[in-house]
Amino acid sequence: MATKLSSEQKRQKLARAAMNVIWRDGYHAATIQAVATEAGLPAGGVFYRFPKKHDLALVALETMEGEFVPLLESLSTSRSVADRLAKFFDYLDAMTPRRVSHGCPLARLMLDLPADDDFTPSRKTGQAVFDALINWVAGQLEEGGVDRKTAAKTGRQIIMRWQGAIILAHSMGDRAILDDEINELRALAKDLIG
């Protein structure tokens, strides 16, 4: 007999399903039924927890934030800046196959968000994830001896170049584009911290 899920477990399952469906199908093509099917739960549970479609966007972005922020914190436990940055680039590399086949889930949803005010919380959450990535890289570079201004600029450029490579690799169906860029970014960071 299957274990009955708590209300919070159902919410988490639906949140992850919303993230996956929106990543796979895009925000505009995502449906309540597709989220329910992905989660293996009745559609009524989606309506109950997320009554408006913009609620699905927000919960998908919160799910991404809930994964990226703890990941960055876990990488920060390594002893040296070089080791932390190496693990960060290893993580980017590990995500490459899904990024080539589906693009970046965060960027895809951020680009799909309508401009109306209902989506302001979603935009802020997505921007916070990008900010966390940029600031984490910049902080590592600064701790590694790079001056604050250069570290901030380079942190932004690293995330920007990674995102650009994801778009091109996904559009072209060519993993080598993303592999090459991650290797270049890894070398750039290594050169900067010596």
**Residues 81-105: tens digit of each pLDDT:** 999 999 999 999 999 999 999 999 9
Q: Which amino acid is at 193?
A: I
Q: Helices (H), strands (E): how many in the chain?
A: 9, 0
What is the sign of the dihedral through the CA atoms of 136, 141, 147 and 151? negative
DSSP state of 27: T
Report which of 53, 62, 51 is spatially closest to residue 12, judged by C-alpha positions.
Answer: 62
Residue whose entry in the numeric block shows the structure tokens 């170049």: 161
When pLDDT is cut at 50, 70 and 90, the band that residue 78 belongs to is confident
Residue 1 has pLDDT above 80, yes or no: no
Three-state secondary-structure class, residue 182:
helix
Residue 2 has pLDDT above 70, yes or no: no
Mean pLDDT of 60-88: 94
Mean pLDDT of 127-139: 97
Overall CATH class of domain 53-193? mainly alpha
When pLDDT is cut at 50, 70 and 90, the band that residue 3 belongs to is confident
Domain extents for the chain? 53-193
Cβ–Cβ < 8 Å for 96, 177: no
Measured distance CA(176)–CA(36) in Å, rounded: 35
Neighbours of 29 (CB within 10 A): 11
Residue whose entry in the numeric block shows the structure tokens 């934030």: 65
Mean pLDDT of 2-8: 85
Task: State the average pLDDT for the chain.
Answer: 95
Measured distance CA(174)–CA(164) in Å, rounded: 13
Measured distance CA(86)–CA(190) in Å, rounded: 8
142-184 pLDDT, tens digit per residue, is 999 999 999 999 999 999 999 999 999 999 999 999 999 999 9
Mean pLDDT of 133-143: 98
Mean pLDDT of 34-38: 96
